[in-house]
Amino acid sequence: EAGVAQSPRYKIIEKRQSVAFWCNPISGHATLYWYQQILGQGPKLLIQFQNNGVVDDSQLPKDRFSAERLKGVDSTLKIQPAKLEDSAVYLCASSSGQRTQETQYFGPGTRLLVL
Amino acid sequence: KNQVEQSPQSLIILEGKNCTLQCNYTVSPFSNLRWYKQDTGRGPVSLTIMTFSENTKSNGRYTATLDADTKQSSLHITASQLSDSASYICVVSHSSNTGKLIFGQGTTLQVKP
């Protein structure tokens, strides 16, 4: 079974530039998550999709961050414009459902450095 | 406030030794507790999951315990190997329909030869 795929693996940009990350979840997984993990901290949920609908985006900084999952499969997360404090690893995860018992499977992450 | 606190923040042990990582949580209502292992540059991978009624769960050399009364969990690693060097994250599920996870900050374990 293929895992969660993410690209790019690394990205370096200057502040005020834009950046986009892509995620392809495990086939058949209806629920997709984007997390931000700052160095030395646990992941923080940015947005959760159930198919192509948003379930939870309460911690997404909507003035600069946006995400979409138009066809209910892969997803993109965009930052525009980026700030220095956005430097982090952006993890995508998927699960077959959104019940609390469901295991979330994580991708390798995209490491973003904003200069 | 729903929080998960882990200790120690970091730990260095010699290969072959045992170690125990701690997790305290204030999440309520509680659904389940997971321990994830995160290798450097990789995403977290689930090691164990325990519900309210479970006291212990093993996965090879990893044994997790849960005391739902005191809201504490521990992860015990037996006969450590170099490949155990990683961050270990305690994750608690809130009893909601969205499956929201609350992550601890992790314990970084380094196993030295």
b/e per residue B16-30 (b: at least 16 CB within 10 A): eeebebebbbebeeb
- Segment A36-81, tens digit of pLDDT: 999 888 999 999 999 889 999 999 999 999 999 988 899 999 999 9
Interface touch B104/A42, C-beta < 8 Å: yes
Q: Which of B54, B102, B39, B48 is nearest to B75 (CA)?
A: B48
Chain B residues lying within 8 Å of A90, measured CB to CB: none
- Residue A26 pLDDT class (50, 70, 90 cuts): very high
Interface touch B89/A91, C-beta < 8 Å: no
> Three-state DSSP class for B83?
helix
Interface check for A36 against chain B (CB to CB < 8 A): the answer is: no
> Three-state DSSP class for A54?
strand
Return the residue in A100, A102, A105, A110 with the most chain B beta carbons within 10 A, the one to mutate for interface testing. A100
- Segment B9-21, tens digit of pLDDT: 999 999 999 999 9
Interface touch B99/A42, C-beta < 8 Å: no
- Residue B1 pLDDT class (50, 70, 90 cuts): confident
Interface touch A108/B43, C-beta < 8 Å: yes
- Residue B97 pLDDT class (50, 70, 90 cuts): low
Interface touch B101/A45, C-beta < 8 Å: yes
